[in-house]
Structure 1
Amino acid sequence: MHPRRDVSAVVASVVRWAQRHGAEVLVNSADAHRVGAGVRAVEADELARTCDAVVSVGGDGTMLGALRLVADRPVPVLGVHLGRLGFLVEVQPSDLDVALDRIAGGDFVLESHSALRVGVGEETLIAFNDLALVRQPGRGSLAAAMAVNDVRYGYFRCDALVVATAAGSSAYSYAAGGPLLSPSVRGIVVTPSAAMSGISRSLVLSEDDRLRLELLAEAGELAVEIDGNPHRDARPGDTLDVSVQPDAGLVVRLDPEVHARRSRVKLSLLDLPLLPEQLRELLPEDMRGRLDAVRTGD
């Protein structure tokens, strides 16, 4: 659930639908105080282990968190939009009942997403957009040797290093100067930011490649960020092993062509000019209807 927005109305809609269809609604116990009756609170690991599907209420960040939750046992994840721009989420709160009916009737498709599995010491982290190693002010810069499939290729000395999936290539990696990867490209992109020496441009690797980053002795203390969220620190001598888990996330798509068209328009907001008809796609459906009525004089 979105950490700050009021999700109670959307949760109530899910509960009413579930009660009509004999289904049970579970919620992460950390969010139980934000919802009303008819919901059973469980710990996150039980939720991931037992749910048949997940409804994510928020924006893309919330959706990424839901996908990470069930990455070890992927189940369909439906995004209900309470965020801002939103590349992953598709359904508006007013359309939720219809969406749930369509899912119950099998009238949907699943969009598969790859994830990065990042091994740091004894810990394994999951990232659907990107892993970022970022310098912390006053604590030195990033210095890391890179190996691909156990063969060393060079080193990075920079302010930050971003490893992104194809879906995540439009986020931090793009802001750092990396390329946009088509979702049909089964690969990852490694992009340094503010490079001082070593490798200074983006590298595109296959999903089958195994990437290792070894922090050198001259490295500073770094923040390890997963999908934009700080997770832990990394220090000289630490090693990060990155591999790709295909089909780690299953996103529910009700109207894939419409969603893809709107996503292309949203993506063009990064730095491309828009045609009037493309701008129309960003408007809510009721507003588009009123605009069309004005145009036709109805």
Structure 2
Amino acid sequence: MHRIAIIAYTARPDAVKWATHAAERLIEEGVKVFLEDGLAEVLPEQITAQCETCAATDFEKYAELVISFGGDGTLLGVAHVLIGSDVPIMGVNVGKLGFLAEFPVTLIDDAIMEILKGNYRVVDRSTLHITVGGAEFHALNEVVIERAVEAKMIEVRTTVDQHHVADYRADGVIVTTPTGSTAYSLAVGGPIIAPSANVLCITPISPHTLTLRPLIINDTNEVRFTLPSDSSEAHVVADGRIVATLKAGEEVLVRKSDHMVKLIKRADNTYYDLLREKLLWSADATRK
């Protein structure tokens, strides 16, 4: 590993601090470091003088690996730039829970050395392809159809491969990948899905009818959301970003994308280890 790019959530001082530390360690090890433009602006000159600077959109051109300092949101931003690329992303958690950014800052020195030794795994994560009014978008975690008017439910007709599933009267509807199943969908009652499962999940957000539950479908299925003619406007949100506004009668098409995102994982850690660690599944509730 000879060329590594670094990006950080610069609004978080700890993210900048640990990104600086990582850059110093990589330089000491003889690695050519590429700093994202925004990060380079806030790093000390003695660091930036020894690094190259580039836009995140150029990471694929220069880097063999990207290290992201922040939380899952920072990593998702990088993923949108690198979707379909062979450049993997290593997420270092300077946020809170961090399912995607799973490397803790307390172990960053060890993690860097393991990366340089090649002692890591690269996993492919599926993504979503979203079509709205001729425009196309992608998401790693989920796409959400949510109300655009505060305090007013929306109605969303949902079909899977042209088969009518339900008319959701709710605050919104989520389509999540297995990767995104531990994010927004989980918070509103959706299931946790192992990343290796070839499925998607449709999860309603606060449905008016309590019998409307999360629905697992094959990831070869195509999901279509349509707003009825008398429905309120809705936002289309891809991984936390509003990408479009739907008006009555308009529709959104969601399917599994042909492109993947590559993530760096610890060689000695599995997805189930991560669940036990992040969700405290090993905690003994009987102990005080």
Equivalent position SS for 1:19: helix
Provide the rounded CA distance (Å) in 2 between the counterparts of 1:107 and 1:188: 31
Distance change in 2, residues 1:111/1:92 (3 Å): same
Distance change in 2, residues 1:219/1:140 (3 Å): farther
Aligned residue in 1 for 2:42: 34
Aligned residue in 1 for 2:19: 11
Provide the rounded CA distance (Å) in 1 between the counterparts of 2:12 and 2:269: 29
The one-letter code of the counterpart of 2:11 is R
1:2 aligns with 2:2: no
Q: Match for 1:169 among 181, 186, 190?
A: 181
1:207 aligns with 2:219: yes
Instruction: Point out the structure with the larger helix share.
Output: 1
Aligned residue in 1 for 2:137: 125
Aligned residue in 2 for 1:83: 95
Deviation at 1:258, TM superposition (A): 6.5
Distance change in 2, residues 1:199/1:123 (3 Å): farther
Distance change in 2, residues 1:143/1:258 (3 Å): closer
Provide the rounded CA distance (Å) in 2 between the counterparts of 1:172 and 1:182: 16
Equivalent position SS for 2:20: helix
Aligned residue in 2 for 1:274: 283
**Structure 1 residues 156-195: aligned runs within 5 Å:** 156-195=168-207
**Structure 1 residues 9-158: aligned runs within 5 Å:** 9-36=17-44, 37=48, 38-138=50-150, 140-158=152-170
Provide the rounded CA distance (Å) in 1 between the counterparts of 2:150 and 2:72: 31
Distance change in 2, residues 1:268/1:120 (3 Å): farther
Equivalent position SS for 1:233: strand
Provide the rounded CA distance (Å) in 2 between the counterparts of 1:199 and 1:275: 33
Q: Over aligned residue pairs, what C-alpha RMSD do you find?
A: 3.0
Provide the rounded CA distance (Å) in 1 between the counterparts of 2:188 and 2:285: 29
Q: Give structure 1 regions of 4+ aligned residues with deviation exceeding 4 angstroms.
A: 276-279
1:58-107 Cα offsets, whole Å, 9 max, x none, are 12222222222211214211111211122222323343333223222221
Equivalent residue pairs, number = 276
Contact 2:198 2:218 in 1 (8 A): yes
Instruction: Point out the structure with the larger strand share.
Output: 2
Provide the rounded CA distance (Å) in 2 between the counterparts of 1:109 and 1:166: 18
Which runs of no fewer than 5 residues in structure 1 stay unpaired? 280-298
Distance change in 2, residues 1:257/1:122 (3 Å): same
Equivalent position SS for 1:257: coil
Distance change in 2, residues 1:150/1:85 (3 Å): same
Deviation at 1:276, TM superposition (A): 7.0
Contact 1:117 1:127 in 2 (8 A): yes
Contact 1:169 1:181 in 2 (8 A): yes
1:176-199 Cα offsets, whole Å, 9 max, x none, are 222222333221110112323698
Provide the rounded CA distance (Å) in 1 between the counterparts of 2:107 and 2:278: 21
1:120-177 Cα offsets, whole Å, 9 max, x none, are 2233222222111111334853222222224444432221111111222222222222
Aligned residue in 2 for 1:295: none
Distance change in 2, residues 1:190/1:256 (3 Å): farther
The one-letter code of the counterpart of 1:115 is T
Contact 1:90 1:259 in 2 (8 A): no
The one-letter code of the counterpart of 2:283 is L
Deviation at 1:240, TM superposition (A): 1.4
The one-letter code of the counterpart of 1:267 is L
Q: Match for 2:245 among 224, 233, 240?
A: 233
Deviation at 1:118, TM superposition (A): 1.3
Equivalent position SS for 1:56: strand
Provide the rounded CA distance (Å) in 1 between the counterparts of 2:278 and 2:237: 24
Which runs of no fewer than 5 residues in structure 2 stay unpaired? 1-7
